[in-house]
Chain A
Amino acid sequence: MTNSDKNRLKDKAFQVFGIFCTLIGLVVLAVFLIDILIKGLGRIDWEFLTSLPSRRAARAGILTAWAGTLWILVLTTIIAFPLGVSAGVYLEEYARKNRLSNFLEINISNLAGVPSIIYGLLGMEIFVRQMGLGGSLLSGALTLSLLILPIIIVTTREAIKAVPGSIRDGSYALGASKWQTVWNQVLPASFGGILTGIILALSRAVGEAAPLIVIGALAYVPFIPSSPLDEFTVLPIQIFNWTSRPQEAFLINAAAAIIMLLFITFLLNGIAVYLRNKQQKKIKW
């Protein structure tokens, strides 16, 4: 066998290995989803979705958990959306290249790497203790807002960056002020990208359990929260709680709750991907 033959053989071997590795990832994903569906799908019915939690697995439902998740989703959007987009707009359109903006940039990329449980400790001291909000929905939403803020800022900046300078120049030439240009030209043109980023950030927030456990969200909440100051639970915490129990019946409950959580996560991600594709097709500067 010549040297060149050997090299060709190695090349082919790596190709097979590459396909194998790619498949491992996909097969694990498939096994995983099928396993969850087999375990949990039979458990999902109207009663499961509309029952309060219970110590008996067969009677327990996820009403308070998904109600809490929905509350958190809405509150987090209200808090994080304006804050993150404003910060992104400032950094991209207003900030001069100086040490402050440089520092802001490093700081934001650092915040993106802080583990979620650390945000839990922050929320515990600041929102729960100092501000006296307790283990409420508002504390949870504020904590998660800080957690996803870096994601929103970064995606907002990228979306704004994609708007060509000629659009701004055109607006200025017509006598528009800086803010008029941002509000009437830049933001509408980049809105699709910004929205995609926010939905992806929310899908991250929906799946978080650790920071909410730290701020004191409970697994057993026997009522639907009616105001932002009420105690709450969310689907990931309910899943964690059921998974930690030894009885088989609770594992089935957990699998059923996972199906609901994945449904929400995939729905959000699907919307984001759809918006991104639509955006890419539509805009030809």
Chain B
Amino acid sequence: MKVSERIIEGLLWLSAVITILVTIGIIWVLLSQSIGFFQVVSLTEFLTEKEWTPLFADKKFGIMPLVAGTLLTTFIAIAVALPLGLTIAVYLNEYAPARMRQIVKPLLEILATIPTVVYGFFALTVVTPFLQQFIPGLAGFNALSAGMVMGIMIVPMISSLSEDAISAVPRSLREAAYGMGSTRLQTAFGVMVPAASSGIVVSVILAISRAVGETMIVAIAAGQQPRLTMNPLVPIETITTYIVQVSLGDVPHGSLEYKTIFAAGITLFVFTFALNNISFWIKKKYQEKYD
């Protein structure tokens, strides 16, 4: 083989290997910075303390309020996105005429292309005032409208991944169900959805991972008050919002306050890493084979 061919292959190899360096870089940065944090704050305090006040005079370092805020907004988002997304996927696959599918799908995809800072604006200035008409106790910043808007953002993710999964189920299964006298609804939820279940579960897990890591919507609309609560009507703070909040301030580099964002970051990373790997594992293990 010519030398130039080898050099080119080497360069291409290098570009691919950079992705591994990125992962190593992320883990190294998160670990090296949070080690300093965990030398001062014990892991037990981090996980069991019920308050998170690193920026106040009376410092408490319990991550749970931030985790609770993150899980609350994620839960609301999935509660909106899963029924909507799955229904849309089933409807477009089993009911809608082909022409309608061709028009609706790209329109829904637009929802996924809108920058998240724009969704945050929408949650704060439209959805919250709208909901306040029905829910008197709703604060100006709250988990409810941030979560709902995040759910709308995630709908196309669940609907298109689920639709892919459903349409990958062989026609013969659907025709067999029809042949037995099933209605479209019975075919959809008795045959198609169960057959596509692994793909649908993967889409939901990826959606959860996306919601957990979502930043701008919650930073704008959910508030900046770490609070160990499941009440969706009051201001809370998510892990991501906390990182933004500290980044916007003038916390000196190297201080304990500065290191808290890496401790928060590593918590976030553990969550999303676990979710992504579970989805990858399900995809590999349970992929239905009909050949």
Contacts and interface: CB of A to CB of B under 8 A. Distances in A.
A111 B240 CA distance: 17
Interface residues of A, number: 84
Given A10-B185, A29-B111, A113 B276 contact: yes
B22 A21 contact: no
B92 interface: yes
A262 B258 CA distance: 34
Interface in A100-140: 103-104, 106-111, 113-122, 124-126, 129
A269 B107 CA distance: 12
A263 to B, nearest CB: 12
Given A24-B84, A104-B16, A118-B26, A7 B186 contact: yes
B68 interface: no
B interface secondary structure, majority:
helix
A264 to B, nearest CB: 10
Interface string A19-58: 1011011101101100110010000000000000000000
B19 A14 contact: no
Interface string B178-196: 0000011110100000000
Interface stretch (A81-89, A161-169, A188-196): A81-89
Contact of A21 (B14, B17, B91, B248): B91
B219 A240 contact: yes
A179 interface: yes
Interface in A207-246: 207-210, 213-214, 216, 236, 239-240, 243-244
Contacts of B247: 120, 124, 213-214, 216
Interface residues of B, number: 85
Contacts of A210: 116, 215-216, 219, 240, 243-244
A122 B29 contact: yes
Contact of B220 (A203, A240, A265): A240
Interface in B37-59: none
Contact of B12 (A94, A111, A239, A240): A94
Given A35-B126, A86-B12, A122 B185 contact: no
B84 A110 contact: no
Interface in B3-30: 4-5, 8-9, 11-20, 22-23, 25-26, 29-30
A interface secondary structure, majority:
helix
A90 to B, nearest CB: 4
Contacts of B14: 86
Contacts of B248: 213
A104 B121 contact: no
A106 B206 CA distance: 15
A121 B16 contact: no
A121 B262 contact: yes
A25 B108 contact: yes
Contacts of B1: 177
A59 interface: no
A115 B120 CA distance: 17
Given A109-B276, A116-B213, A32 B122 contact: yes
B268 A94 contact: no
B243 A110 contact: no
A118 B265 contact: yes
A30 B225 CA distance: 32
A152 B248 CA distance: 30
B23 A269 contact: no
B18 A26 contact: no
B247 to A, nearest CB: 5
Contacts of A240: 117, 120, 216, 219-220
B2 interface: yes
Nearest to B254: A129
Contact of A113 (B22, B84, B272): B272
A72 interface: no
Nearest to A89: B12
Given A113-B272, A213-B248, A239 B121 contact: yes
Contacts of A21: 83-84, 87-88, 91
A129 B28 CA distance: 14
B5 A91 contact: no
Contacts of A110: 23, 273, 276-277, 280
Contacts of A32: 122, 126
The 5 nearest A-B residue pairs measured at CB: A115-B213, A207-B115, A18-B91, A86-B15, A90-B12
8 contacts: A21-B91, A26-B107, A28-B111, A114-B273, A118-B269, A150-B19, A210-B244, A214-B261
Interface of A: 7-8, 10-11, 14-15, 17-19, 21-22, 24-26, 28-29, 31-32, 35-36, 39, 82-84, 86-87, 89-91, 94-95, 103-104, 106-111, 113-122, 124-126, 129, 146, 149-150, 153, 177-179, 203, 206-210, 213-214, 216, 236, 239-240, 243-244, 251, 254-255, 258, 261-262, 265-266, 269, 273
